[in-house]
Amino acid sequence: MTVKIPVPTLRAFAQQVLRRSGLADADAATAAEVVLYADVHGFTTHGTNAMAGIYAPRLLDGRINAAARLRTVSETVSGAVLDGDRGLGLVSTVAATDLAIAKARETGVAVVAVRNSSHFGSAGYYAHRATEAGMIGIAMTNCGAQGVAPPLGGTTRMLGTNPLAAAAPAPGGAPFVLDMSATTVATGKIRAAQREGRAVPRGWLTAPDGTSVTSPDAFFAGDADVTWLGGPAATGGAKGYGLAILVDLLCGPLAGASWGPTPDLLVDGEERPDTDIGHTVLVIDPVALGAGARFGAGARELLDTLAADRPAVPGGTVTYPGAPEALRAAESLRDGVALPDHVVAQLVPLADRLAIEAPAEFAAVAVPA
């Protein structure tokens, strides 16, 4: 079941939660927009769900530095490395994205990396932010030293889900926005299935012997691992695995942040926290590179042509990454954001803890005492 919450109501609530969790007003407003983007576009696991389960608790107990001061480690005309001071990844990556946009206007292409950061929410937000400036955006993050998935054919969890997003402007319609993890699915969706008491689809999880597993409990018990995008090696798992390595290289060694595959993990096998996370944002300005309006017009034609293809199944639709999410966003803005009951059930006690009045719509959900 879901509850519909007007976007302004949810935005105001998110800002209150983040302020009461220790963020300055400006940072709370920035972070709330990243949170709202996820819920509005249908990425429920990365919106207020993450605010309740990750951001607010870690800000309150100090694992995320609410008073972080972003610092420039190094800088060139076309790039920079920033130190997030253990701050909220949502705030530091917005700053990194805006800096990359400003530099790309001058140089055509710019890369900004962040170290010493934390969970940054929906990767698509940052790539999409670049399209609002008329630019192409690519954003990615590792999971710091935390291991979520073993290398292809291995047994030790070393790499994160390592999400990445890419977006391109296409005036006159929905932009192209690809937001994906290097694994078949983000672990937040496995957690959501566990909370809702349902099995996960075959192909999400696999046992050490290669058997497909549908119980989400098996993942959290360490009895099954999330699969790489493409599945086993025979069906293209090396593609997802390779993408995960690429993200760790660009967000770990390049940014100066932690990364998962370190030799000590092979010795002690200890589970490690997702701290000192790294993010990298790349922005391309078509105007600065001489493409001008040609790029936008070409992108629109390309995407519209794909969507105009005859559906393989009568009554079906053909679309592209970014278009369904744009429709979902329009629906959310018109009718309210659909929040699952299990998310609301986390937000109500959080509001009580912070002495914040929860939205009236939350009263429709029965919250366990």
Tell me the average pLDDT of the chain. Answer: 95
Q: What pLDDT does 191 receive?
A: 87
Give the tens place of pLDDT for each residue, 278-327. Answer: 999 999 999 999 998 999 999 999 999 999 999 999 999 999 999 999 99
Instruction: Using alpha carbons, select from 62, 204, 194, 84 the residue that is nearest to residue 144.
Output: 84
Give the mean pLDDT of 340-357: 95
Which residue type, as a one-letter code, is found at position 216?
P
The token duo for 227 is: 């699969």
Instruction: Using alpha carbons, select from 118, 19, 28, 14 the residue that is nearest to residue 65.
Output: 118
Query: 151, 241 in Cβ contact below 8 A?
Result: yes
Tell me what percent of the residues of the chain surpass a pLDDT of 90.
88
Residue 192: which pLDDT band, with cuts at 50, 70 and 90? Answer: confident
Residue 365: which pLDDT band, with cuts at 50, 70 and 90? Answer: confident
Give the tens place of pLDDT for each residue, 147-167. Answer: 999 999 999 999 999 999 999
Q: What pLDDT does 368 receive?
A: 74
Lowest-pLDDT range of 42-51, 59-68, 183-192: 183-192
Half-sphere exposure of 69 (CA within 13 A, CB side): 0
Q: What pLDDT does 1 receive?
A: 83
Instruction: Using alpha carbons, select from 323, 327, 336, 329 the residue that is nearest to residue 41.
Output: 329
Give the mean pLDDT of 270-280: 86
Give the mean pLDDT of 10-32: 98
Neighbouring CB atoms inside 10 A of 72's CB total 11
Tell me the sheet residues that pair with 83: 71, 115
Query: 18, 32 in Cβ contact below 8 A?
Result: yes
CA dihedral 113, 106, 287, 251 (to 10 degrees): -10
CA dist., res. 24 & res. 348, Å (int)? 22
CA dist., res. 53 & res. 345, Å (int)? 11
Strands 136-141, 164-168: pairing kind: antiparallel
Residue 188 pLDDT > 90: no
Query: 158, 147 in Cβ contact below 8 A?
Result: yes
Query: 127, 63 in Cβ contact below 8 A?
Result: no
One DSSP character per residue, 37-93 reads HHHHTT-GGGTHHHIIIIIHHHHHHTSS-TT---EEEEEETTEEEEE-TT--HHHHH
Query: 83, 112 in Cβ contact below 8 A?
Result: no
Q: What share of the chain is helix, strand, coil (3-state, %, to 5)?
A: 45, 15, 40
Q: Based on C-alpha coordinates, what's the Rg of the chain?
A: 20
Instruction: Tell me the domains of the chain and their CATH numbers.
Output: 1-67+336-369 (1.10.1530.10), 70-183+228-293 (3.30.1370.60)
Give the mean pLDDT of 79-88: 98
CA dist., res. 125 & res. 96, Å (int)? 12
Q: What pLDDT does 264 receive?
A: 84
Query: 360, 12 in Cβ contact below 8 A?
Result: no
Residue 267: which pLDDT band, with cuts at 50, 70 and 90? Answer: confident
Which residue type, as a one-letter code, is found at position 165?
A
